[in-house]
Amino acid sequence: MSDINMETENTWCPGCGNFAIEAVTKKGIKKIGRNKTAITAGIGCHAKIIDYVNVNSFYGLHGRPVSLAVGIKLANPELSVLAFSGDGDSLNEGISHLIHAAKRNSDITVVIHQNRNFALTVKQFTASSPKGFVSNSSPEGNVEEPLNTLEVANSAGATFISRSFSGDIEHLQETMEKAVEHKGFSLIEVLQSCPAWYDTNSYYRENSYKMEKVPKNPDKKIREWNYDGEGKIPLGVFKKQEKPTYEEKMARKGKKVSVEEVLKSKI
Ligand code: SF4
């Protein structure tokens, strides 16, 4: 076994966008150092990244990679902590964890493998599937409006919001590095094709464009693409804001208090 690679057989489908995420993750971890990084994952195809990258890691329950990452970072603020999650994992089961981690400005990076369906369980619709999406749980077409992932993170107060595409590995690497370097909660939504159940490769390739700089009005830019086939898809960094992190705020409050002091307090 070499440093970063595991000997585990890779069972992702050929052409899956997860391969690009795995490749840039390995490259990034090599730069930061394996003993200075920890990764978490939930349940779904994305989560197999834990089996393929040789680094401190934690396989969580469905929808829980973000809360695990928050805990790891709080326990050891020296680590770079990345939470890998699918759209079903983070926007269905785990949406409250995503919202609260963004609200706290926990200094972690959340990587959303956005394939817009529950792929591991063979195609059910998720919160970000398009309207009309035909799946095993919506055989006559999804009747719901898709949820804008970036809008959710933005309304919760995320201090770094970005989007990339697994078909453009250079852009993905560059955006992921910026997200990890950011001090505070950072989110990177990676649009990825799922050739088995929802092949979106050509659609993203033909309809996305790269933003040259961070927009002055992130709210407007974030709404430019509605996840439903209308509008061009902006890629890059939408928002970058400096704010004290959750860990910094907790460290300031972290002075030991005796039981007597608590009993005497007026709280
Ligand atoms: Fe990738 Fe879809 Fe295959 Fe899962 S089912 S490994 S997401 S292509």
Domain boundaries along the sequence of the chain: 18-265
Pocket flag, ligand 1, residue 108 (CB < 6 Å): no
The reply to whether CATH 3.40.50.970 applies to domain 18-265 is yes
Q: What is the pTM of this model?
A: 0.94
- Calculate how far, in angstroms, residue 119's C-alpha sits from the geometric centre of ligand 1: 6
Mean pLDDT along residues 28-56: 97
Pocket flag, ligand 1, residue 16 (CB < 6 Å): yes
List pLDDT tens digits, range 201-255: 999 999 999 999 999 999 999 999 989 877 899 999 999 999 999 999 998 776 6
| Ligand 1 atom 6, closest CA | 12
Q: How far apart are CA 70 and CA 74, in angstroms?
A: 6
| Ligand 1 atom 3, closest CA | 13
pLDDT in the model for residue 263: 74
Pocket flag, ligand 1, residue 84 (CB < 6 Å): no
Contact 162, 173 (CB under 8 A): no
pLDDT in the model for residue 254: 61
User: Which residue, 200, 210, 217, is CA-closest to 235?
Assistant: 210
Quick one: pLDDT band at residue 260, thresholds 50, 70, 90?
A: confident
List pLDDT tens digits, range 125-184: 999 999 999 999 999 999 999 999 999 999 999 999 999 999 999 999 999 999 999 999
pLDDT exceeds cutoff 50 at 1: no
List pLDDT tens digits, range 62-99: 999 999 999 999 999 999 999 999 999 999 999 999 99
Q: Dihedral of CA 144/149/150/153: which sign?
A: positive
pLDDT in the model for residue 251: 87
